[in-house]
Structures are given as structure tokens and as C-alpha cells.
Structure 1
Amino acid sequence: MAHDDDVVFEAVRARVLSGEYLDQRSGLPGADSGGGVRRRISPGPRQTVYFRGTPAYDTALAAGQLAPLPPLTPAPEEAVRECEELLGRPLPPLLRRCYLELGDGGFGPGYGLFPLRDTEYGGSVMGAVRQQAEWPAAWRSMAGSLLSLCDWGCGIESLVDCRHPSGGMWAIDPNPAPDDDPDVMLFPESFTFTEWMRRWVDGTLQQPCLVQDEETGIWRGATDAELGAR
């Protein structure tokens, strides 16, 4: 496990050092090589956004048409300890190392890992832990075990189970959940945090999705095959 963590950490660090540490990059003002999505990211004019892993992204990157991402600042040791004390258990080793050595969030899957502490711009890992007091009753047994890591938009989140150092992944997807059974929005995934980050580096990680099994009618997380077919 430690060896796997080391290999994945070095791969993540290489991506951070390359400046390509988010899955979405804005194009430079006035530059548009085609294939991007026009979106208003902040107050002001719309910008062209490119998604890593697409031909349009590769073309814009090669042409120098992507706006550079700012350098990351690692989280202070005290913030990591504060998070672990709030959670009542240690972070998975690879996650802890990513925060201490690479950045206090802002990189990785979705819109990037959450920062540990609240910021003026949005939520945080510790803020999400405190909000677990408001979780539905069916989720309460997982409170204090799951740590929210990132969001994908539309209320979809990825979480890590900190009860074991390997850190099994979970997700929340409220979109297809039936009104009479909202508890199914929280579901486990089939891989660990280390594998989650490895897939992100490789460009094979897909946004989690809640689906209803056609045979059993049970709500569950989509398989890799089902995600690939969407």
C-alpha cells in the first residue's frame, strides 16, 4: 500500500508541478481554438472553458491559449491536525501528504479538493464535517467517518471513508434519487482514495452517478461500464 501511495503521490505531484492540476482550464481572453465551452466563471464576460482529456484542451494547450493556474500553497500542519481532531481519526496517509506537500485543496478531481478550513470563496473539508450533524438519520452511522473531498456540480460530491488508511470512496448524487427515498443519495464506490487519484492522473476517473438497477430496482452507484456508456 505504501508503495502504491508513493507512486500515485509522485504522479499527482508531477501534474501539480506541470500547472495542469485541474480538469477545467479557462482560455486566454480573445483566444479560442474551438471546441471549448463558453461559460461565465465569475462576474464579467464569458470565458471559453476547456476540459482536460479532450482534443480541444490538447489543441489549446499546445497553442499556449490556456490561462495559467496559480501556484498552490500546502496546508499548514496545524490545519491538518485540527481536521483530524474534529473528525476523531487520522486522514488516509496519501490524502494527508497531498495536503501537507502539494496544496490546501484546489487541485484534483471535479472542481478540485476542498480546502481544509473555510474560506471567503466557498466550503471546506472541516465545514462539511460540521454539517454532518444535519445529515439524514440513515446516514448518521457514517458521520465522523466520511470526509467530503470535492464537488462535481449539481450537488454531486466525492467523499473518503477515514475508518481505514486505504480510504474507500463514497459519493452523493441527489439528482435521480426518488423523493420518497432520499437516503439512497449516499453510496459507496468500488475503489480507494489512492485508486481514485490514480484514475484522475490517468484521465480515466469519471464523475460518480446514482443509478437504479434494472433487475433489482435497487439504487446504487454506476459501474465503470455504465459510466462509460453515458
Structure 2
Amino acid sequence: MTDDEVVEALRIVARTGSLVPPATPEAIAGAEEAIGFPLPPLLRRLYAEVANGGFGPNEGILGVSDGAAQGNFADIAELYQDGPDPSGRIPACLVLIYDWGCTIWSLVDFRDPAGVMWVNHEGECWSQGVNLAEWLTGTLTGTLTVETLLESQPTS
């Protein structure tokens, strides 16, 4: 799916009333300031035009301030500032957006406008080989699962 198709597909989900309202421009700017990198354009659009998180797999990705939370995690900037990886194995540009459970996280590379997706599992971090649009397409079609994430791990 193209970025526009992903946005439209998630707008349809939002119309069911199951998503929180979009983020304010101030909340998006605050997250970018706290993280130190601009949001990838598709993620910025989704937060601003569709919903402040809550879309994606299962209960959905984290939002920015006052958006969708996941468990004890309030928003991507707060989680980023708390330092998700005390071992230092997660590069500073990778932002946690979804907790699959069992120490498995999906992360977005904020250095790349396409939002390349990464996986962190038990301290190991690797590129999933898809961008945010492809990752979200996988969540919409049901082809993205925790098993497919773990299958993307390179072998040593």
C-alpha cells in the first residue's frame, strides 16, 4: 500500500470509533523535540490526521502526549526519554512504538523518512527489512505477527 492508502485504510478504522482523536500539532512537536528527531512523514500524518496512536497490531501503537497508551507506557516521547535499553544496544534514532510482550518491541528509525522498522528482542536489535507503510499494511492484512518479526532476525 502507498502512504495515502495506509492513511485511508486507517481512517476507515477510525470511523468505527475505536481510535482516539488525532494528536494536536503541539503534541507532535513536543514529541519531536523530546526525541530529537522529526517523526517520519507517514507517522506524523497518521498522528495528525487519523488518530493519536491505537492503530496497528492488537491494541495499537503508542501515541504522542495524550494519545493511546499501551500498558504502563504513556507515549513514544516519554518512553524514549526513559531510556528503553540500559544496555545501550538500541541506537538513539530508534523509537519504540509497540510492545508485543515477552521482551519483543517494534521500533521506527526516525533517521529515515520511510520509517524503517526494527525489532528488539531480549537485547538484540535488528532491521525488519520493511518500512512503516509495509509494517502497517501487514497489521491491516493480518500478515504481521510476532512470529514473522522473529523470523526476520538475521542468523549469525
Instruction: Write the distance in 2 (CA, Å) between the matches of 1:197 and 1:5.
Output: 10
User: Does the alignment pair 1:209 with 2:155?
Assistant: no
CA contact (8 A) 2:105 2:120 kept: yes
- Structure 1 segment 21-36 matched on structure 2, within 5 A: none
Instruction: Write the distance in 1 (CA, Å) between the matches of 2:60 and 2:114.
Output: 20
State the match for 2:109 in structure 1: 161
User: In the alignment, which of 127, 136, 141 is matched to residue 78 of structure 2?
Assistant: 127
Letter in 2 for 1:128: L
Instruction: Write the distance in 2 (CA, Å) between the matches of 1:204 and 1:189.
Output: 14
- Structure 1's unaligned 5+ residue stretches are 20-68, 175-182, 219-230
Instruction: Write the distance in 1 (CA, Å) between the matches of 2:12 and 2:94.
Output: 28
Q: 1:13 to 1:135 in 2, by over 3 A?
A: same
Kindly report the root-mean-square deviation, in angstroms, between the aligned alpha carbons of the 2 structures. Answer: 2.6
SS of structure 1 residue aligned to 2:113: coil
Q: 1:163 to 1:14 in 2, by over 3 A?
A: same
- Structure 1 segment 127-146 matched on structure 2, within 5 A: 127-132=78-83, 135-139=86-90, 142-143=91-92, 145-146=93-94
Give the structure-2-normalised TM-score: 0.83
Give the structure-1-normalised TM-score: 0.58
SS of structure 1 residue aligned to 2:83: helix
Q: 1:154 to 1:173 in 2, by over 3 A?
A: same
Structure 1 runs (4+) deviating above 3 angstroms are: 210-213
SS of structure 2 residue aligned to 1:109: coil
CA contact (8 A) 2:128 2:152 kept: no
SS of structure 1 residue aligned to 2:89: helix
Q: 1:95 to 1:79 in 2, by over 3 A?
A: same
Instruction: Write the distance in 1 (CA, Å) between the matches of 2:100 and 2:51.
Output: 19
Q: 1:122 to 1:211 in 2, by over 3 A?
A: same
Larger Rg: 1
- Structure 1 segment 1-230 matched on structure 2, within 5 A: 4-18=2-16, 69=18, 71-117=19-65, 122-123=72-73, 124-132=75-83, 135-139=86-90, 142-143=91-92, 145-174=93-122, 183=123, 185-207=124-146, 208-209=149-150, 218=156
- Structure 2's unaligned 5+ residue stretches are none
Instruction: Write the distance in 2 (CA, Å) between the matches of 1:173 and 1:81.
Output: 29
Q: Which has the higher contact order (CA 8 A, sep 6+)?
A: 2
In the TM superposition, residue 197 of structure 1 has moved relative to its aligned partner by: 0.8
Q: 1:211 to 1:133 in 2, by over 3 A?
A: closer
